Amino acid sequence: MAVKNFQHKTEDLRAAQEECAREPVHIPGAVQSFGVLLSFDAAISRVWQVSANVSQHLGLRVDDCLGASAIDIFGKSLLGRIRRGLKGVDRLPGALTVTRKLGGVSRKLHVVAYRSGEAVIVELEPLGGGVRYRWLSLVNDWISRLVETGTESEVMAMLCEAVRAISGYNRALIYAFDENWNGKVVAESRCETLSPLLGQHFPASDIPPQVRAMYGNNRVRVIADARAEPARLVPAMNPANGQPLDLSSGYLRAVSPIHCDYMQNMGVRSSLSVAIYSETRLWGLVSCHSNEVLALSPSARDSVVTLVEVASQRLFLLKAEADAHYRYQIHDNRVELAGGVQERQAPSDLVRQHAEHWRELFTVEGLALAYLGEITLSGTTPGEDQIRALTNWLENHVKGSEPWATTSLAASGYPGAEAIGESCCGLLAMPLLIDMDARGWLLLFRPEQFEMVPWAGKPDKVPEMRDGRTVLSPRTSFATWVEEVSGKSQAWHPAEINAARDLGDDLAVIAAAHEITRLNEYLRREREALAQANKHLEKVANTDALTGTLNRYRIEHLVQMSLANAERYGQPFSLLLFDLDHFKMINDTYGHEVGDRILKALVGALTEGLREGDQLGRWGGEEFLVLAPNTVLSDAGIFAERLRGMVLDAEFGLDEPVTISIGVTEWRAGDTLKNLLVRADRAMYQAKHSGRNRVHLDTH
């Protein structure tokens, strides 16, 4: 009987989770009481629906509004502005502020309009009188302080402080999502009336998928009073199609009863949330709370949004600079490794020489190189036999040339994880394409990381029946509950994975160069076989295994020769550094095999556009470098635009076009390879920062 009860509880919980994910929060059939909603036909001629509080805000009866002419309610001027603003777009580009006499009273109104299916929705919020608040001056003051911040934590702390100062909420916090959509409070500003939440974690179910998706339509969600009675829409359904009205893009959408309970349990009466988006996904939220009713004015709301936008740009710029600094560290190490190619050093010798530095760069406790049957170990690693078993498993489960990472070998399905032990819990594995028929492996190991994770209340929810549906009841307590997390290592940062890819490419070239030397010695008496091996391996040492173009070391050597000629004879040259836009998204969406195919097709598309003497090489990952001899910056810019256009016009077999962002710089007297490449990299970053699919010339 106990087993049956447990099964019933599990089934109830699963049903509640599915019901929660389907909760139609976008069609509540009502609006919050701080504004009024009217819906119209697509031509904005007649009123289809109206919120029941229209009398309170506009002095008009519901019956007088339904079927009424839009021009009678808005007047010719305002109606014309709304129609012109919605021409060809789904949302009015900016809110309108108008004064209109309605119900015998002159009313100042904040107007927002957007399309929802066949309907046009107009939301009106009354604006109070009195002295106009100096929002612009206050926001500008905070912006000037935000742009001076030097660290990510400073940006987030100051943003919370600024939002509270402008909005008047008791608490402002920044809530960042992890890869599983759990949230963590990473910054907070509050008064003593609300308890601290800094460092607390929240489960993904607190902000279900359909709620997160709605931030893509409107990045702002305001709840003036969670206990206020919502104003229902009259009639409840759109008379044109009998369907409920989708209010995702507005500000007035009524609050889900479950979320009202959640806020009450949290001790919050009013809230404001503003989404923070990175380049590819919802990164987090700025969330504000008050334990009292707070009717935030539209001007204050817009000011908060402006601050969040500016702070977000500063935050992600600092993140990009940190990543760039890490890339420069990796680049310096790669320059050192280049000597190994020239000297034909054994990869195992280079691993022993650089292992300590690599363990520091990647924050790992051990690494291993498996190469043609030879195992080289450094730090805390599995034994040699265990490494061979692990690489055999990787050969069967990891295809392609991209790095493979996990925070738990056991959770990833590796059968030998228990034998390896907790000292090598996480793995970053980079395949080394040494030969068409042989792969080596660079393996980086991280130990199990025991972590005490504080949650804002125990993240368990209980299924209950509401209106005949099984739903998850909100948590009733937000007291700190600490979870002990084990069985996982520290997560692998994308910059570390990219660095492992570059390092693996270098080791593959070094291994190929070393193999040339080894085979030359071994096959000295076998001239015919020696010639054939040299031809193949020289190609491996000088060309990229995937794309067939010059590899990093060959193109770098050519740039060094051009530097020498430029200094000696004054011969100008330019560099074009570019990479594919959104290549990670292509890999994530279509898989790495398609990503490899795109890289090959890119080289094919560009080869025809190269001039005599131009050299194209793969710089690493999706980055490529073009050496343009006897070319000044202005001509190189024209050349780069032509290459960009060729890629844009090429057919790659995807639903969306493939584009590149190009940074262009030219040789200047006294240049070294490093500062020439730094300028090209900086110009390429500017091209990407300016919108991608463009060329940026380094003129500084």
* CB neighbours of residue 68 within 10 Å: 16
DSSP string, 492-513: PPHHHHHHHHHHHHHHHHHHHH
What are the tokens at 540?
Answer: 């491996």
Cβ neighbours of residue 374 under 8 Å, at least 6 residues apart? 348
**Among 104, 116, 108, 128, which residue's Cα sits nearest to residue 55?**
104
What are the tokens at 44?
Answer: 């904005």
**Partner residues linked to 254 by β-bridges:** none
- CA 283 to CA 123: how far, in whole Å? 28
Using CB atoms within 10 Å of the CB of residue 63, give its burial: 0 to 12 exposed, 13 to 18 middle, 19+ buried. Answer: exposed
- CA 195 to CA 661: how far, in whole Å? 47
Phi, psi of 370 (to 5 degrees): -110, 115
Phi, psi of 690 (to 5 degrees): -85, 0
AA letter at 127: L
Beta strands in 178-258 (DSSP E): 183-190, 201-202, 220-223, 231-234
**Among 164, 285, 273, 296, which residue's Cα sits nearest to residue 221?**
273
Cβ neighbours of residue 263 under 8 Å, at least 6 residues apart? 223, 226, 269, 271
The CA-CA-CA angle for residues 621, 623, 627, to 5°, reads: 135
Q: Is 666 a catalytic residue?
A: no
**Among 99, 98, 100, 133, which residue's Cα sits nearest to residue 112?**
98
Cβ neighbours of residue 487 under 8 Å, at least 6 residues apart? 408, 410, 411, 425, 448
What are the tokens at 57?
Answer: 């805000």
Do 159 and 149 contact (CB within 8 A), yes or no?
Answer: no
Beta strands in 161-230 (DSSP E): 171-177, 183-190, 201-202, 220-223
* CB neighbours of residue 224 within 10 Å: 21
- CA 553 to CA 126: how far, in whole Å? 66
Pairing of strands 615-620, 171-177: unpaired
Give the three-class secondary structure for 50: strand
- CA 117 to CA 651: how far, in whole Å? 34
**Among 636, 644, 584, which residue's Cα sits nearest to residue 613?**
636
What are the tokens at 665?
Answer: 């710089």
Cβ neighbours of residue 232 under 8 Å, at least 6 residues apart? 29, 30, 51, 52
Give the three-class secondary structure for 442: strand
Catalytic residue among 622, 623, 651, 666: 622
User: How many CA atoms are closer than 13 Å to the CA of 55, on its beta-carbon side?
Assistant: 7
- CA 290 to CA 269: how far, in whole Å? 6
**Among 177, 174, 171, which residue's Cα sits nearest to residue 196?**
171
- CA 251 to CA 429: how far, in whole Å? 47
Phi, psi of 206 (to 5 degrees): -65, -30
Pairing of strands 469-473, 615-620: unpaired
**Among 263, 276, 225, which residue's Cα sits nearest to residue 32?**
225
Residues marked as catalytic: 622
